Amino acid sequence: MRAADTATREPGHDFIRDIVQDDLASGRHKTVVTRFPPEPNGYLHIGHAKSICLNFGIAREFGGRCHLRFDDTNPTKEEQEYIDAIERDVRWLGFDWGKHLYHASDYFETLYGWAEHLIKAGKAYVDDQSQEEMRANRGTLIEPGRNSPFRDRSVKANLDLFRRMRAGEFPNGARVLRAKIDMGSGNINMRDPVLYRILHASHPRTGDKWCVYPSYDFAHGQSDAIEHITHSICTLEFEDHRPLYDWFIENLPVPSRPRQYEFARLNMTYTVLSKRVLTLLVRDGHVSGWDDPRMPTIAGLRRRGVPPAAIRDFVRRVGVAKANSTVDYGMFEFSVREALNRTARRRMAVLRPLKVVIENYPEGQVEELEAVNNPEDESAGTREIRFSRELWIERDDFMENPPKKFFRLSPQKEVRLRYAYFLTCREAIKNAAGEVVELRCTYDPATRGGNAPPDGRKVQATLHWVSAADAVDAEVRLYDQLFAKPDPDAANFAADLNPNSLEVLAGCKLEPALVAGNSSDPVQFERQGYFCPDRDSTPGRPVFNRTVGLRDTWAKVSAR
Ligand code: ATP
Ligand code: MG
């Protein structure tokens, strides 16, 4: 037996890859064919990313191919918007299905024929029971089901009724086609599952051609067989469906025999990964849309500034296991920071500005100072930043009556302004309400570039700043967890929402390089975190999203 869990494996190796490797080595398959089979009834989320990276990743690593197949068997819930979003998101994640784009609806005619095949073999029947009767007769985990009174219809009667179902003679729900397997089976999936239901609904691709639609279970495995999928990879909840899929494969003239392998779905703290819940979050206005940066959707993460490489890295670290577990949200943020630390340019931005006036700096003088774009990447080069008599610093970087361990600015205290000079606070100016509105300071001209002066004086803090004359006003959106609890209750999710998941700051001060060239690249605001421009930006009014802070704060937050 193989070890089923990846916890002990190197990242990038797992039991499914082992199986694929063995199957290729033994000649069971000449080439590996996988597929990602989303139902187009919502946007993809980070759980889907795990499945995408696994299926497309295996195909790429082993020189095979991966299909994108829309599981479009339920015309009432599916929309073109979702189809477009899914294609966009898979591509953005870095994967490509080439010409292998398929739809379960491509196979409706074949599947219908196979349903008749089962009827003719005496292995399927038309059931007239109501949904309630069927449910009542299905039994429970400990009680066997009861046979339908329609179970022993003749082949001729079944064929006739099924054809009339297709012809549109009956209303929705009047009858279903069921497989004739075993109502006493310990596996409820084997208790005469529904193969076809009547649904007078127009389908996005087949229009009004059909008024009977195959069930997910009848379409899924057979679609894999039609496409010659070698390894049908799915999540654990389908383990109990495998005997049914195998039964179909045994009893139908399918062109190939895919094997199904199950892995644990991704669960993450503070996050709900259920399309049903995500749909309700959007529909009920708890978020601004599917791409709200607080959403765990691919579109939301993209808008938040998460690079696709970070998602791939995260998925690789999580690994592929056979037991369900919940991944710490901090692990995701770790991957995001890792990716951004390598690539994001450093910039200065003041989120909660406090004015500084340097009394001994000549009025009207402007200096260009050199600043490093990315200390992790020398090729990113340097830029010029402007220094002048009036600056903005972070309000939090000043305290009038600081506690002992506060090393930043306070009256008579000296700090370094990044890339610029040493600065000493001389006086705090207050308004009528007693709030500090401006600092009067002096600088030491002998410290240009932020270097220590000849007397070797040291400072204990370095502050970021923006020159007031150049600063660009911006809105900055700070995001916190959408849910206040590490394990939100999907059944009652509204109660677990975090009321403070979005904080909007206006009047933030950016160094001009942040808006030059209209780049949409992620950046690091020095000392604050990683940010990216939001699509709500307009020419005079940039908007930035905080992707992630610089440090892991979740450990602290959950201990609070
Ligand atoms: P629902 O949210 O209603 O359970 P779904 O997420 O299963 O729907 P599908 O469109 O059927 O939606 O999913 C497509 C594929 O993504 C499936 O193969 C499914 O197993 C996989 N998948 C879905 N959620 C996760 C997850 N959290 N982790 C890993 N894979 C997932
Ligand atoms: Mg599903």
Give the list of residues 6+ apart from residue 243 with CB closer than 8 angstroms, or none. Answer: 187, 189, 190
265 a catalytic residue: yes
Q: What is the pTM of this model?
A: 0.93
Beta strands in 166-211, from DSSP E residues, in sequence order:
176-179, 194-198
Whether residues 460 and 333 fall in one domain: no
User: Coil, helix or strand for 507?
Assistant: strand
Structure confidence at residue 197 as a pLDDT band (50, 70, 90): very high
Distances (CA, A) of 115 to 39, 179, 218: 22, 9, 9
The pLDDT value given to residue 10: 62
Q: Which residue type occupies 378?
A: E
Report the separation in Å between the CA atom of 379 and the middle of ligand 1, taken as the mean of its atom positions: 41
The pLDDT value given to residue 552: 63
Distances (CA, A) of 229 to 66, 103, 109: 9, 14, 19
Q: What is the pLDDT of residues 354-385, one digit of tens each?
A: 999 999 999 999 999 999 999 989 999 999 99
Q: Rounded distance, CA 245 to CA 187, Å? A: 13
Whether residues 251 and 207 fall in one domain: yes
Q: What is the pLDDT of residues 290-321, one digit of tens each?
A: 999 999 999 999 999 999 999 999 999 999 99
The tally of domains found in the chain comes to 3
Whether residues 36 and 183 fall in one domain: yes
**What does pLDDT average to over the chain?**
94
Print the domain residue range for 40: 31-263
Whether residues 183 and 255 fall in one domain: yes
Instruction: Identify whether 300 is part of a domain.
Output: yes
Whether residues 339 and 364 fall in one domain: no
39 a catalytic residue: yes
Q: What is the pLDDT of residues 231-240, one digit of tens each?
A: 999 999 999 9
Report the separation in Å between the CA atom of 45 and the middle of ligand 1, taken as the mean of its atom positions: 9
Average pLDDT rounded to a whole number, residues 28-36 = 97
Q: What percentage of the chain has pLDDT greater than the value 90? A: 92
Q: Given 429, 464, 499, which residue is the final one in a domain?
A: 464
Instruction: Identify whether 26 is part of a domain.
Output: no
Q: How far is CA 91 from the centre of its chain?
A: 14
**Please, are residues 510 and 519 in contact by the beta-carbon 8 Å criterion?**
no
Judged against a pLDDT cut of 90, whether residue 80 lies above it is answered with no
Instruction: Identify whether 406 is part of a domain.
Output: yes
The pLDDT value given to residue 556: 42
Average pLDDT rounded to a whole number, residues 53-59 = 97
Kindly state if the Cβ of 235 falls inside 6 Å of ligand 1.
yes
- Ligand 1 atom at minimum distance from 235 CA: 20
Whether residues 333 and 353 fall in one domain: no
Q: What is the pLDDT of residues 419-444, one digit of tens each?
A: 999 999 999 999 999 999 999 999 99
Whether residues 259 and 291 fall in one domain: no
Q: Given 439, 464, 489, which residue is the final one in a domain?
A: 464
Instruction: Identify whether 66 is part of a domain.
Output: yes
Q: Residue 141, class by beta-carbon neighbours within 10 Å (0-12 exposed, 13-18 middle, 19+ buried)?
A: exposed
Q: What is the pLDDT of residues 145-154, one digit of tens each?
A: 999 999 999 9
Whether residues 150 and 59 fall in one domain: yes
Instruction: Identify whether 15 is part of a domain.
Output: no
Catalytic residue, chosen from 138, 265, 355, 440, is 265
Q: Rounded distance, CA 535 to CA 220, Å? A: 38
CATH code of the domain covering residue 287: 2.40.240.10
Kindly state if the Cβ of 268 falls inside 6 Å of ligand 1.
no
Whether residues 57 and 175 fall in one domain: yes
Q: Residue 470, class by beta-carbon neighbours within 10 Å (0-12 exposed, 13-18 middle, 19+ buried)?
A: middle
Instruction: Identify whether 214 is part of a domain.
Output: yes
Report the separation in Å between the CA atom of 55 and the middle of ligand 1, taken as the mean of its atom positions: 13
Judged against a pLDDT cut of 90, whether residue 206 lies above it is answered with yes
Q: Residue 522, class by beta-carbon neighbours within 10 Å (0-12 exposed, 13-18 middle, 19+ buried)?
A: buried
The pLDDT value given to residue 78: 74
Whether residues 196 and 244 fall in one domain: yes
Q: What is the pLDDT of residues 386-418, one digit of tens each?
A: 999 999 999 999 999 999 999 999 999 999 999
- Out of 80-89, 254-263, 305-314, 551-560, which region has the weakest mean confidence (pLDDT)? 551-560
Judged against a pLDDT cut of 70, whether residue 143 lies above it is answered with yes
Phi, psi of 533 (to 5 degrees): -65, 140
Give the list of residues 6+ apart from residue 351 with CB closer than 8 angstroms, or none. Answer: 394, 476, 505, 508, 525, 528
**Please, are residues 172 and 186 in contact by the beta-carbon 8 Å criterion?**
no
Which of 39, 48, 273 to mutate for ligand 1's pocket (most ligand atoms within 8 Å of CB)?
48
Kindly state if the Cβ of 300 falls inside 6 Å of ligand 1.
no
Report the separation in Å between the CA atom of 473 and the middle of ligand 2, taken as the mean of its atom positions: 45
Catalytic residue, chosen from 39, 338, 376, 438, is 39
Q: Rounded distance, CA 555 to CA 148, Å? A: 55
- Ligand 1 atom at minimum distance from 39 CA: 10
Q: Among candidates 240, 258, 255, which has minimal Cα distance to 29?
A: 258
Whether residues 61 and 124 fall in one domain: yes
Q: What DSSP assignment string belongs to 30-95?
A: SS-EEEE---SSS--BHHHHHHHHHHHHHHHHTT-EEEEEE----TTT--HHHHHHHHHHHHHTT-
Whether residues 251 and 279 fall in one domain: no
Average pLDDT rounded to a whole number, residues 430-459 = 96
Q: Given 235, 263, 291, which residue is the final one in a domain?
A: 263
Instruction: Identify whether 388 is part of a domain.
Output: yes
Judged against a pLDDT cut of 90, whether residue 351 lies above it is answered with yes
User: Coil, helix or strand for 144?
Assistant: coil
Instruction: Identify whether 459 is part of a domain.
Output: yes
